Structures are given as C-alpha cells and as structure tokens.
Structure 1
Amino acid sequence: MSTRLPTYFISHGGGPWPYLDGPFRRTFDQLEQSLLDIRKELNDAPRAVLVISGHWEENGFAISSGEQPGMVYDYSGFPEHTYHIRYKAPGSPALAKRVQELLGAGGIGARLDPDRGFDHGTFSIMKPLYPGEDIPLVQLSIDRSYDPALHLQLGRLLAPLRDEGVLIIGSGLSYHNLREARGVEGVEPSRQFDAWLQQTLVAGPANERTEHLLHWEQAPLARAAHPKEDHLIPLVAVVGAAEEESGALVYHQKDLFGRITASSFRFGNVPSVQ
C-alpha cells in the first residue's frame, strides 16, 4: 500500500468484551460499530498493524517480536473461557526490527521481546477490526515514566511506517478511573475531560495540539479522569506520528458503563480522501 495511513487512538472498552455475550457485551455495541467503520474507511487492509498498548508498561520501550505471539490475560472476574481465548494473528519480527531501528535512529532505545503476547488492549480491538486474524500484528509498550514529551517523540519517529502500509493504533481509554467509572463520581470528569479532548484534538488547530498534550494535567478534571495516565499516553504517541494533521472523532458514547463519556480519534486523512 503506497497511500499514507492515518493513525488512531481507540478507547478499547472493558476486558475481553468481544468474546462475551449478554448485557456487558452489548455495552460495547457502539464501540464495535466504530471499529467496523474504521475497517471500511481504510479500504484495503494494511500490510501490518502496530498497537501501542496502555496495558504494556516497561522501563523504557519494548517491542513484541515473536512470530506467533501468545496471549496475556490481564483482567480478572470474567468467565473461565476468556482465559483460554486466542487471537491468532501472526507477529512480524521484521516489523519489530524496523520499529527498533526507527526509534534507535532518533535516540530512543527499545528492546525486542520475543515472548510478549497480545494483551486485551490489543486483542479486544483487533478481534472486531480484523476478525480474520491474518494481518501481522506487533505491540509496542509505553514507558512507565508516562512522559508526554518522550511519547510524542516516539510517535514522530514512527511516522514513516504510515507510508509503508503499517496502521499505527494507540489503545487506551479517554477516561480511565476504574474506581469511579460505574458511579456518579465519574460522570463529570469523563464529560469535561472528553470535551477538552475534542476541543484539543478535533476543533482546535493542529499546530496547538502538541502544547496542550504536553500539559494535559491542566485540562478540566484531568486527574479525576486519569489518576494514572497509562491509558492516555498511547494517544500522545499516535498524535506524534501525525502531528500536523487534522483530527477527527470516530467513536463517542455518553453512557459507557451506564454513565461514562468515552471517545476515539483519528489523525490524518483516510486513504479514500487523499
């Protein structure tokens, strides 16, 4: 694929939701439809997918490099069968090495991890997005310093992949305060922080976006929305990979878990409008 691909930040939902039935599964119907719409707007399948997952933290950066990655069941309290599911997409040692080289050329070290499996920040979105499980898939960790400047630079260094047929996805949640997500306490923080994200990422000029993200803690109720920013930092990285390009809202829900506002975003144009 020669056309430059956009990048995405996807609010990935709760646990292994695509593998469930019943009311909890239905909570994510809007999210699932947004993923189907993303697949449609991308037209031809990407050559490979790189997911920067908020569920993989390291001191520094690591890249999954195995040929047939396993699974990481990083959740609890779900039915027994969800601890035996498999998302069988192949890994890509070649892409992992390419990522390592791009980062290294910019002064960011990253180690290859041949044993890392797919965590639910990755397989929960990939199952609806590419159910054929046949597109090579690589994960990239975040650095547990959560330094936004570092992750913006990470994204900038990854940008050439967009011209090489690699779809870059940041997987997290636009609101991630699990203690308050199911109560009234989460309503206003999720709503106000989401409104700030939409103003910053979509309505505001792209050339001001970086500065706002560097100081995201100044946003309304920022720390109430993200007591720990592991699920926000992947957004910073994918913005870095499309830093001067327009943002668009691709998923928005006001009643996630009954009360919470959540959103996903695209950066850059889809291939059909380039």
Structure 2
Amino acid sequence: MSQIPSLFISHGSPDVAIAETEATRFLRGLAAGLPRPRAIVVATAHFEAEGRVLVSGDAAPETIHDFGGFDRSLYEIRYPAPGDPQLSSTIAAALAGSGFAAEVVANRGFDHGTWVPLSLAFPQADIPVVQVSIDPGEGPAYHLRLGEALAFLRSENVLVIGSGSFTHNLREAFARIRNNDRQAATPEWVSRFADWMTERLIAGDRSALEAYRSEAPFARENHPTDEHLMPLYVALGAAGLGAGATKLHGSHDFGVLAMEAFAFA
C-alpha cells in the first residue's frame, strides 16, 4: 500500500474506553495493521462548527470529558498526546485553498470522539493529534469535499480518521444503557440500515451514499440528526476518487449502536 489509508471508526458510548466489548478488542488491535503514522488528524462528530472549519492548534491539548452519568474511572482518563501546531496551520491553509472558511483555534481539547478510540488504538499517546470540525448544518456532499481537501495528508504519512457512529439513535441507546443491556438484540431497523450502507461503501456507490437520507432504509430512525455519520464522508473523501472500502469491523453495542469501522484506500 503506497499511502496510509483513511479510516472511519464508530467511537460508540464513552465507556467503550473501559468496557470489554467486541469493538474495544478491535480498537486495541487496530494499529497493528497500519503503518505507524507521523501524525493523526481526526474529524470528530463532537467538534462542531457551522459555516466554517475549525482546526485544533494547541501544542498540549487537554482531555475533555464531554458526557455524564458514567463510571467515575472514565473521568480520570487523560490522553496526553501532543498536538502539532505546524500541521494545524498547514491544514487550515489547505482548507482555505479549497474554498473553506478555515481557522486554527486554541483551547480545544480532545473530545471523547477522539480520545476514546485513540486511547485503545494508540495507548502510548506518542503520536501528535489534530482535530478538525464537522458542520452539523451540512450534509454528505460537503463533508466529502472536506475530506478531499485533506487527501494530501495521506501521502505525508498522516492518518486521517473520521470518528462518529454508523448508527446513532441516542433515545433508543439510552433506554438500553439505563438498563445496562449491552447485549440487547439488534432491531431490524438497525441491521437493514447498516447493511445498506456497507453494501454501498463496498460498491463505491458515492451517489447513493450522498443521498442516504432519502434512499437508505430507516435512515432517520438510525440518524435523527446526521452529525455522527458525517465523519464517514470525511474519511471517504480523504481517500480520493476511486478509492476502495474495506470493512475492518462490525459489532453492536446496546443493540442499536452499530460499531462498524472501514478503511479507504
């Protein structure tokens, strides 16, 4: 493989960081199948900005615990990976050159969409990490274009990750989380949506993927709002036109959180 792939990862519930699930085990082994990147750029569903793209620029980002109601030990986790201010500036300039209103921002720590999967996949926290925002007011086409503007990073051995959730109905998930029902059965409306998306990704059917909101079965049930799916499109765009998709992982947490992961190259 001449270039490092881009990845989409479903980060799931924050307590994936301390749980023992199929997705946890997958994430722990993820780095073993990749070239060691010189830096990691994460487009995370928990970093939102409307009408512009923000790029985290801190040299030593803090760890953000942007959730409530979980085991106390989860709030004690810190992910002390460095940032890379020079890379942040390069990314912002590249985005601006592609027509985005982009800026580097300070005091933006690692949200759980970043540190939860990275703490499992790269536990040494010795690779610089930069975060890029998604726009909750924009859809797949915008985020594909955003990813395309980041595609140059792959030739520089920078790992581009879209961190979101393949399915993300929080109302349904919280009902099962409250009951501690991690092994809940997966409803048909979840599996049919996940199967449809997977088939289109493997087939490289970008036109269908861009229209997922109207074409995919149970799209609105799985994504009442679609910000958690948009990192998938960033990762897909970063792979470039004609890139193939490889499914790396598939499992379910609490029945309704599909934990799929894909590589694009």
Shift of 1:265: 0.9
- Does 2:30 align with 1:38? yes
Post-superposition Cα deviations, 1:160-199, rounded to whole Å, max 9, x if no partner, equal 1000010000001101001113568961221011001111
Instruction: Give distance in 2, aligned partners of 1:17 and 1:76.
Output: 14
What TM-score comes out, normalization by structure 2 length? 0.90
Identity of aligned residues (%): 36
Unaligned residue ranges in structure 1 (runs of 5+): 269-274
Instruction: Give distance in 1, aligned partners of 2:230 and 2:216.
Output: 15
Q: Aligned partner of 1:124: which letter?
A: V
- Does 2:64 align with 1:72? yes
> Structure 2 vs 1, CA of residues 57 and 80 (structure 1 numbering), >3 Å: closer, same or farther?
same
What's the counterpart of residue 191 of structure 1?
191
Post-superposition Cα deviations, 1:114-148, rounded to whole Å, max 9, x if no partner, equal 11000000000001111111100001010121322
What TM-score comes out, normalization by structure 1 length? 0.88
SS of structure 2 residue aligned to 1:249: strand
- Does 2:153 align with 1:155? no
Paired residues of 2:8 and 2:164 also in contact (CA < 8 A): yes
SS of structure 1 residue aligned to 2:7: strand
What's the counterpart of residue 38 of structure 2?
47
Q: 1:86 aligns with which of 46, 71, 78?
A: 78
Q: 2:109 aligns with which of 98, 114, 117?
A: 117
What's the counterpart of residue 222 of structure 1?
219
Unaligned residue ranges in structure 2 (runs of 5+): 177-183
What's the counterpart of residue 213 of structure 1?
209
Shift of 1:98: 1.1
Instruction: Give distance in 2, aligned partners of 1:83 and 1:100.
Output: 31
Shift of 1:259: 5.6
Shift of 1:34: 2.0
- Which 4+ runs in 1 deviate beyond 6 A? none
What's the counterpart of residue 13 of structure 1?
12
Shift of 1:262: 3.2
Name the count of aligned residue pairs: 254
Cα RMSD, aligned residues only: 1.8
Post-superposition Cα deviations, 1:196-230, rounded to whole Å, max 9, x if no partner, equal 1111111x1x2xx2211211112000000000111
Paired residues of 1:7 and 1:168 also in contact (CA < 8 A): yes
Instruction: Give distance in 1, aligned partners of 2:236 and 2:23.
Output: 21
Instruction: Give distance in 1, aligned partners of 2:30 and 2:72.
Output: 30
SS of structure 2 residue aligned to 1:266: strand
Instruction: Give distance in 1, aligned partners of 2:154 and 2:123.
Output: 22
Paired residues of 1:121 and 1:172 also in contact (CA < 8 A): yes
Name whichever of 77-86 and 135-144 sits farther off.
77-86
- Does 2:54 align with 1:62? yes
SS of structure 2 residue aligned to 1:135: coil
SS of structure 1 residue aligned to 2:250: strand
SS of structure 1 residue aligned to 2:172: coil
Name whichever of 237-246 and 89-98 sits farther off.
237-246
